[in-house]
Structure 1
Amino acid sequence: METNAARDRIFARIRAAQGRGAKVTEGEREAVADYLNRHPQGPRPAVGQNLAEAFSEQAQKMASTVDRVATLADVPGAVLRYLDGLNLARRAVAWTALGALPWAAQGIEVECRPPLREPQADREHGDLVGITGCFVAIAETGSLMLLSGPDTFASAALLPETHIAVVPVSRIV
């Protein structure tokens, strides 16, 4: 989805509200460059060359569990080990993009839909596990950035008691 035109219109409205012209002037660009040169970035944690390792280390510091698999097809096996290790039901809701994985072969019932949180639902029948992908995983903090949409509903990460994120190495920044 192309958003440059919408962004430019938003910035033009902001500049108009500030009594400034619609376009950025060369003087404004120079002022920003001068400010950035006079205010160096603060300390940042060293991430190193191995972003996957750095992400894993930081995520575990935040009490996340990390399991690495060789291929996407190996994800259901890792999820099974995780669910069984915590004595959780072998049932989850997931983003649409993950629906084609071999969940049934591992004995896991996965429905690609937003979770339902009904007050009368008990631990045995509620949507307690949500499986999502991610837009990016941030190595220096061990955190995830998710984008929500019709097939990537945020509620799959927020409503279930357990959130499992599938993080391809290519998504770690």
Structure 2
Amino acid sequence: MPEQETPSTETPNEETPQTPPEGETPKGDGADSTEEKPAEETVPPEVLRKKLTDANAEAANYRTKLRETEAKFSNAKTLEEFEAATGELRGQIEALERQILLNNVAAKYELPPSLAKRLEGTTEAELEADAKELQKLVVPAAPESLSGGLTPDDGEEFDPVKAARAARKRRF
């Protein structure tokens, strides 16, 4: 049974002219889409290079940890050796999870990183209660200066009639 086509409002031979957004060149039928500009032209190459080297260093660190772990597991012949290797990894995982939890709670209550280490508790609720207590002791940083413009007591008396007359004189 042949499929039925639904009628469309556009005919295939008609093309609707479209203006490209500001800053882009008009495109043809879409075949030459290789000349698109990269989205991050404003980022300096030094910043990108530093991010790339940091990411490469982190990846290298993970590769060395993977090799060490593979060596531990390949040397494990008995169940006890295998459990000892996995126990060590579990300890590292728990320490990292605790550090993440401490950092999240400290960020939530706007505590400095030096106080995040001093939070006490095993559960998130206990850590949040301790963070609330520490937050009371931390003095928020004072803004640089909230003053701007004129001070309320300049010593001059303001006369609105004189100000209006002076404004009219300046207009003409």
TM-score normalised per structure 1: 0.21
More strand by share: 1
Q: Which has the larger radius of gyration?
A: 2
More helix by share: 2
TM-score normalised per structure 2: 0.21
